[in-house]
Structure 1
Amino acid sequence: EQRGPFEYQNGDVYDGQWLDGERHGRGTMTYAEDGSTYDGIWRRGKEHGRGRKEFLDGISYVGDFEHGMMHGQGRFTMADGVVLDGAFLEDEWQG
C-alpha cells in the first residue's frame, strides 16, 4: 500500500492511499471539470464506502457510496438547503 498525491492529465488531483496503482483506502479527489471534491473511502479506483461529495454550487452528499454512486444511507443537501435523508440506490433517493 502506498500513499501520496497524483495529478491526472485532465487536471483531477487525488491525494490518498493506493493499492496496485489504483485509488484504494482513504483519499480525497478534486475533479477539475466541475470543481467537485470527494473525501472518503475508495475501493479499486471508485468511491466506495463512507464519504462526502461536495459541489461548488453548494450541493453535498454525506453517506455511503458503492461503485462510485450514492448507495446506502446518506444525506443529500441541495443548494437551496432542502435535505433528503435516507436510503439511496444507485444515485437515486429512495426515501
Structure 2
Amino acid sequence: RGRHPCPGDGATAAPTSAAGSSLQGPARKRDSRRMSVHFANGDVYTGNCVLFEGGEKRHGLGTYVYSPGTHETYKQYRGQWREDKKHGYGVLFYRNGGVYVGQWENNQKHGL
C-alpha cells in the first residue's frame, strides 16, 4: 500500500501493518493501524492511528516524543489518545525530570 497521512503538519508515514481500508464516517476498530510519524519539527509519534472522516488521527495507545528544539518543558507522553488528543490514562515526562501520571481529558490533565 501507499503512504498514509497521520495527524500534524502534513507529515506522512507508512503503516507498520496493512490492516484497514478507506472509509467515510465514524472510525471502526479494523481501520486502526500502527504508525510511526516523524514531523518536520523533529517530534515523533509512534502508535495507533484510526481513519476518521477528514483523515487519520492518533487514537488508542501511542508515544509522542517532543523534540528539544520545539518544546522546552515536555520530553515525552506515553498513553491513550482519542481523536488526536491525550485522553485516558497517560504519563507525561518533563525535561526537568518531573513526571505526571494520571488521567487526561480532551488534551488536559484531569483529576488532579
Which TM-score band (shorter chain)?
Answer: 0.7 to 0.9
Which of 17, 35, 46 aligns to 1:39? It is 46
Query: Is the strand fraction higher in 1 or 2?
Result: 1
Identity of aligned residues (%): 21
Tell me the residue number matched to 1:25: 33
- Secondary structure of the residue aligned to 2:45 is strand
Q: How many residues align?
A: 90
Tell me the residue number matched to 1:82: 98
Instruction: Name the larger-Rg structure.
Output: 2
Q: 2:59 corresponds to which letter in structure 1?
A: H
Aligned-residue CA RMSD in angstroms?
A: 2.5
Question: Where in structure 1 are there 5+ consecutive unaligned residues?
Answer: none
TM-score (structure 2 length as normaliser): 0.68
Q: How does 1:58-77 map to 2 (within 5 A)?
A: 59-77=75-93
Question: Where in structure 2 are there 5+ consecutive unaligned residues?
Answer: 24-30, 69-73
Q: 2:49 corresponds to which letter in structure 1?
A: W
- Secondary structure of the residue aligned to 1:29 is strand
Structure 1 position 56, deviation (Å): 1.1
Q: 1:42 corresponds to which letter in structure 2?
A: C
Q: 1:19 corresponds to which letter in structure 2?
A: S
